[in-house]
């Protein structure tokens, strides 16, 4: 694996991308919701990166109170990237899952706990055997309240991890670019497919 794929590109190094977005043509393969940019009233959004987005998306669509999920790319520079472009390491994007949830049925704290416990947030530009900037751990928040809760949860989980330093990127959400149709709900369509999720085995400490 080239070391270049473990360094985020500068603006001059990033691929140019395109003006035309990828728009999913099929509804959510599990619950039938439409995959678009519309967020139903009363719902909230959290965007997270936990390595390969296939297994991460399945983790969240299984949660009661999650309205819909979609996989895509965010946190980088290239507009409307393709999967092949993201894999070059020259877009700056992370593979992410956009989670639309009903806060009356599942709280942000529960989603963040799943995030911290179900992957290893200490690995930098990789997750297990998946190496490169696209696999970095990330939380992209959609409000100041979310941002502060994410930072506080990071502090609590860091205390539990002791000397293993969390490398998770926590930033306000930028544009979410949908991934191609074949990536959406991949493990529902391919139940025996690859899932790279693997946590540290350490539980999130309770809030005081």
Per-residue model confidence as pLDDT tens for the chain (208 residues): 456 688 999 999 999 999 999 999 999 999 999 999 999 999 999 999 999 999 999 999 999 999 999 999 999 999 999 999 999 999 999 999 999 999 999 999 999 999 999 999 999 999 999 999 999 999 999 999 999 999 999 999 999 998 899 999 999 999 999 999 999 999 999 999 999 999 999 999 988 7
With both helix axes pointing from N to C terminus, report the angle between 53-61 and 108-117 in degrees, rounded to the nearest 10: 140
| pLDDT computed for residue 1 by the predictor | 46
Second-level CATH architecture of 25-189:
2-Layer Sandwich (3.30)
Residues annotated as catalytic are 52
CB neighbour list of residue 126: distance below 8 Å, 6 or more residues apart: 6, 51, 132, 135, 136
- Give the span between the Cα atoms of 109 and 37, in whole angstroms: 24
Predicted TM-score (pTM) of the model is 0.96
Residue corresponding to tokens 């985020």: 8
| pLDDT computed for residue 207 by the predictor | 85
Q: Where are the domains of the chain?
A: 25-189
- Give the span between the Cα atoms of 117 and 202, in whole angstroms: 7
- Give the span between the Cα atoms of 46 and 143, in whole angstroms: 9
Identify the burial level of 83 via C-beta atoms within 10 angstroms of its C-beta, where 0-12 means exposed, 13-18 middle and 19 or more buried: middle
């Amino acid at each position: 694996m080239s070391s270049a794929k473990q360094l985020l590109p500068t603006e001059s190094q990033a691929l140019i991308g395109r003006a035309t977005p990828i728009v999913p043509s099929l509804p959510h393969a599990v619950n039938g919701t439409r995959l678009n940019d519309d967020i139903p009233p009363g719902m909230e959004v959290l965007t997270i990166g936990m390595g390969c987005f296939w297994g991460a998306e399945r983790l969240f669509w299984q949660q009661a109170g999650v309205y819909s999920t979609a996989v895509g790319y965010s946190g980088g520079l290239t507009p409307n990237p393709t999967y092949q472009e993201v894999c070059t390491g020259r877009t700056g994007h992370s593979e992410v899952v956009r989670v639309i949830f009903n806060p009356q049925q599942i709280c942000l704290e529960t989603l963040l706990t799943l995030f911290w416990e179900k992957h290893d947030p200490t690995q930098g530009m990789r997750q297990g055997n998946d190496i490169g900037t696209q696999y970095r751990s990330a939380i992209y928040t959609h409000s100041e309240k979310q941002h502060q809760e994410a930072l506080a949860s990071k502090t609590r989980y860091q205390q539990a991890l002791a000397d293993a330093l969390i490398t998770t990127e926590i930033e306000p959400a930028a544009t979410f670019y949908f991934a191609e149709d074949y990536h959406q709900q991949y493990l529902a369509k391919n139940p025996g497919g690859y899932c790279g999720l693997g946590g540290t085995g350490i539980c999130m400490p309770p809030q005081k």
